[in-house]
Amino acid sequence: MLHRNYSNFYKNFTSESVIDLFCQIASLPLGYNSETLIKAASSPEMIQMLVNRPALGVQPHSTWAKTLEDSFMSVAPKGLSQVFTAMCGSCSNETAYKRHKRGLQAAISDEDLSSCMKNAAPGSPDLAIMSFNGGFHGRLFGSLSTTHTKALHKVDIPAFSNWVSSPFPSLKYPLDQHEAENAKEEARCLAAAEEKMKHAKTPIAALIVEPIQSEGGDNHASPKFFQGLRDLTKKYDILMIVDEVQTGVGATGHFWAHEAWNLTTPPDIVTFSKKFQAAGWFHRPDVRPDAPYRNFNTWMGDPIRALQAKTILQEIRSKELIKNCRDTGDYLKTELTQLEKKYPGTISSVRGRGTFMAFDLPSPQDRDTFVAKLRAHGVNTGGCGPQSVRLRPMLVFQKKHADIFLDAVEKVVRGQ
């Protein structure tokens, strides 16, 4: 249905034909045909920025500073008072990787300047970005070197071979029934990360981590784990980058998923894209480059997407959509957990925060069949990891929509 009569897809997401819980790979904040976004799309401001696209790094329009304040800066994570705008999630992560500690601490020598022109050390230094097994941070050469989900994304592409990765906790669900063993697993992963930091042949400049590993299989970890990571990055003088490309902008029940960690020191950098339509990263003031053009490109983001982000934020606030995600998420989790108990051997490990949820099927093939059958029932979801189904509905997804989805799930687990 989704593919045969695709035009319906856009008309009404609660139509009989399709209900979408994957939302263009987790990137639609307000669903299809949002009236507020349609109104903003025809505003004179939007048309001017669409037609007269500026090179924001050198000739921003006079309204740009105000647009930044009204959009990204109004939801800047605690402690991060600066923003760098980009075009997509991969670019956000890669430009963030360019702001590593060494660039901030050491004076630039003539040898640095001449050697970097030959792609040689010390100007092109032997520095690594550390990441986690199962992490996904994009598909360009730098970001792909930190991505560890599917081999098919990586094979044949040259990578930074010295960019280490470390195990991410593999928790058991439900979390409240496996506290002791999950704590042990997180301690094991923290120890492994510290080993990498301590003994890496190549100095580690920055660490990147997702609050919930999404493409990797919706793998969670506790606030305590992330606080432990933050402590390690402080101890070993490593920048901490939190990749909120998929988790950011409300679906987890917090605007930024890392707010749930209550860190004693904020991360150094938080990257975003997807549901904000716009992309970029927030950072601490001391991460700012010390000279112009050190982190630069022609467009430096897109003002029309920043204008959309501003509209999305207005809608999130006026309709209390973060609360909606928490409420709908609680309902979804309760109901899915009941289905898990009612139909053992079908879905399992129901997990998530807000509506940012997932569950497992017994095998990869069962998962693929499950997703295909759901689609035949008019429900679009996505796979992640080896055998998980992930739910990434729009922020306006409510109990009444959840009921349509739950009804389809029950039909599928009953073999219909």
Among all residues, which ones are annotated catalytic? Answer: 136, 243, 274, 298
Identify residues 101-120 at the interface with its own copies (CB under 8 A). Answer: 102-103, 108, 112-114, 116-120
| 15 binding its own copies? (CB under 8 A) | no
Q: What are phi and psi of 292, to 5 degrees?
A: -65, 155
Using CB under 8 A, which of 21, 75, 83, 127 touches its own copies? 127
Angstrom distances, CA of residue 32 to CA of 2, 37, 255: 14, 10, 21
Identify residues 27-46 at the interface with its own copies (CB under 8 A). Answer: 27-28, 32-34, 37-38, 41-42, 46
CA–CA dist 94, 92 (Å, integer): 6
Minimum distance, C-beta of residue 1 to its own copies, in the bound complex (Å): 13
Stretch touching its own copies by CB under 8 A, among 141-149, 223-231, 251-259, 371-379: 141-149
Minimum distance, C-beta of residue 409 to its own copies, in the bound complex (Å): 21
Using CB under 8 A, which of 107, 151, 199, 341 touches its own copies? 151
Using CB under 8 A, which of 19, 75, 83, 89 touches its own copies? 89
Q: Would you call 379 exposed, middle or buried from its count of C-beta atoms within 10 A (0-12, 13-18, 19+)?
A: buried
Using CB under 8 A, which of 12, 17, 45, 61 touches its own copies? 61
Q: How far apart are the first and last CA of the chain?
A: 17
CA–CA dist 105, 88 (Å, integer): 28
For residue 77, cis peptide bond before it (omega within 30 degrees of 0): no
Stretch touching its own copies by CB under 8 A, among 153-161, 233-241, 253-261, 315-323: 153-161
| 100 binding its own copies? (CB under 8 A) | yes
Which residues have CB under 8 Å from 401's CB, separation 6+? 13, 14, 19, 328, 393
| 139 binding its own copies? (CB under 8 A) | yes
| 372 binding its own copies? (CB under 8 A) | no
| 273 binding its own copies? (CB under 8 A) | yes
Q: Which is nearer to its own copies, 173 or 370 (CB)?
A: 370
Question: DSSP letters along 346-399, please?
Answer: SSEEEEEETTEEEEE-SSHHHHHHHHHHHHHTTEE-EEETTTEEEE---TT--H
Minimum distance, C-beta of residue 119 to its own copies, in the bound complex (Å): 4
Identify residues 164-223 at the interface with its own copies (CB under 8 A). Answer: 165
| 136 binding its own copies? (CB under 8 A) | no
Closest CA to 375 of 336, 405, 346: 405
Which two structure tokens, joined as six digits, stand for 319? 């309709």
Using CB under 8 A, which of 159, 175, 191, 372 touches its own copies? 159
| 236 binding its own copies? (CB under 8 A) | no
| 293 binding its own copies? (CB under 8 A) | yes
| 154 binding its own copies? (CB under 8 A) | yes
Angstrom distances, CA of residue 67 to CA of 3, 61, 79, 96, 253: 38, 10, 20, 22, 25
CA–CA dist 185, 187 (Å, integer): 5
